[in-house]
Amino acid sequence: MKKTIKPLLTVLLLMGAPALAGTVTVITSFPKELTQAYKSAFEKANPDIKLEILNKNTVSGIAFVRETDAGKRPEVFWASAPDAFEVLAKANLLDKATGIANPDVPAKIGSFPINDPAGFFLGQALAGYGIMYNTRLIKAKKLAPPASWDDLLEPAWYGNVGITSPSRSGTMHLTVETILQGEGWDKGWTTLLRMSGNSAAITDRSFGVPDGVNNGQFGAGPVIDFFGLSSKYSKFPVEFVYPEETAIVPANIALIAGARNTDEGKKFIAYTLSKEGQELLLKPEISRLPVLPYSKLDNIPDGYPDPGEIAKRSKVQFDVDLSQSRYYIVQSLFDQTITFRHADLQQASKAIYDAEAKLGNAPSEQARDALDQAKKLAWTPLLDADQVKSAELIAVFAGNKKDAEVSQKLSKIQGDWNSQAKANYEKAKTLAQEAAKL
């Protein structure tokens, strides 16, 4: 008797197995502790959908979406930086999140909309920016617990800070913008240059800073709150503080345009906004701030930060449009003057501190002038607040990097910044050493 071989799907259906639905691919910068918790819970609630996590830092994630053809893109983009979503929306790479939003989520946190007013992305958690520090290390080195960005600029913190670059981390980009918007462009860059000069290293990823603080490689560093809070609630010897110049903004989630399984992607987004999905944020190893009000959730940990209260006392009213407009300029300026010239900046900072220590409180006028000039060279941004608004500069950085003319202009601008930073730091070091001899 001739046997008939049925297609596998038919056999499965005859056996009563559910039809296989699509896979949801999520591109995200979030750590494994968070993504694995959501993967396990979502797949348990939706056994016919498989969740795949594609982990990339936010900047690389944007590039990946841009470079992937429609029809082959991941379904969901999930990250902490609202300006990154503005970049994607402006490039027509997001679909509207129609019918997914949880109506219990408030419209705003402080004055900042939780969901995109245009409907292209939704707030999934709330995030603040601040300082994480190792309690054991600062006690051993007799360093005062930092409470403000200015505290990390003190000479005592030289070599005890860890930092990453905004081009390597969307959360660091938000931290940089928070400082720039809170203190103003010029003073904000002075803070970033001095903090970076005090840094022992520029880490490759945002994870490198909290990992370094956890293990005592760094005494402190700027991080997004969930890095500090998750370590604290997981019993590491660390604390996290929100300076007055902080911002509470949404960590967002969005549907990518041109994805393969949009309906399944919508189901995942809806799950992350549900009560069950929001309560996952409260797990000690995750420790994020939910967008749902605490009155809608169970088992809020004792002493857990209240995002509404933090937003009220913050001096920063975060302007996401401003951040988006200079997104690549800020990243490039940081890299050319800090990341790629870090050793030079460190040496200039050290020479300044050594001169200050040697000269004491009553330096000669000549020594004081030389030292002031050294500080100005080392800790003043190459672009001032007016120059960064240049329409020509903005157009170059917003242009198509694959265009030969645009690429050539970018290379020249970045090369000039790098060369000028090197010359400034070398001159600052020389002036500080000369001042010390006076």
The answer as to whether 15 is a domain residue is no
pLDDT tens digits, 14-55: 333 333 468 999 999 998 999 999 999 999 999 999 999 999
Check whether residue 333 and residue 383 sit in a common domain.
Answer: yes
Residue 1: the pLDDT is 40
Distance CA 202, CA 339 (A): 7
What is the pLDDT at residue 228?
94
Same structural domain, 275 and 173? no
pLDDT at 299 over 90: no
Whether 2 shows a pLDDT value over 70: the answer reads: no
Q: What is the pLDDT of residue 399?
A: 86
Same domain membership, residue 437 and residue 403: yes
Residue that wins the pLDDT comparison between 317 and 328: 328
pLDDT-derived band at 6, boundaries 50, 70, 90: very low
Looking at the fold, whether 115 and 167 belong to one and the same domain comes out as no
pLDDT digits 0-9 by tens, 354-384: 999 999 888 899 999 999 999 999 999 999 9
Claim to verify: residue 331 and residue 435 sit in the same structural domain: yes
Examine the domain organization and report whether 331 and 416 are in the same domain.
yes
Mean pLDDT computed over 142-165 = 97
Q: Over 80: is that where the pLDDT of 188 sits?
A: yes
User: Is there a domain that residue 9 lies in?
Assistant: no
Residue 75 lies in a domain: yes
Encode pLDDT of 245-289 as tens digits: 898 889 999 999 999 999 999 999 999 999 999 999 999 999 999
User: What is the structure's pLDDT at 217?
Assistant: 97
Q: Which residue has the higher pLDDT, 12 or 382?
A: 382
* Residue labelled with tokens 């004491």: 360
CB contact at 8 A, 25 and 39: no
Domain count of the chain?
3
**Is 154 found in the same domain as 298?**
no
Residue 364 domain flag:
yes
Mean pLDDT of the chain: 91
Confidence band for 8, pLDDT divided at 50, 70 and 90: very low
Q: The whole model's pTM is what?
A: 0.81
Tell me what pLDDT residue 247 has: 86
In a domain, 10, yes or no: no
Q: What is the pLDDT of residue 21?
A: 60
pLDDT of residue 387: 95
Pairing of strands 249-256, 238-241: unpaired
Residues 255 and 120 in one domain: yes
308 or 393, higher pLDDT: 393
Residue where a domain terminates, one of 313, 341, 360? 313
Q: Are residues 331 and 438 in the same domain?
A: yes
The pLDDT score that the predictor gives to residue 221 is: 98
* Domain closes at, from 260, 288, 313: 313
Same structural domain, 332 and 402: yes
- Section 233-242 average pLDDT: 94
Examine residue 13 and state whether it is found in any structural domain, yes or no.
no
Categorize the per-residue pLDDT at 148 as very low, low, confident or very high, splitting at 50, 70 and 90.
very high
Do 91 and 184 reside in the same domain of the chain? no
CATH number at residue 63: 3.40.190.10
Which residue, 287, 313, 339, sits at the end of a domain? 313
Is 39 within the bounds of a domain? yes
Residue-wise pLDDT for 87-124, tens only, equals: 999 999 999 989 999 999 999 998 889 999 999 999 99
Does residue 6 form part of some domain?
Answer: no
Q: Are residues 235 and 268 in the same domain?
A: no
Per-residue pLDDT at 308: 87
Boundaries of domain holding 238 = 129-192+202-246
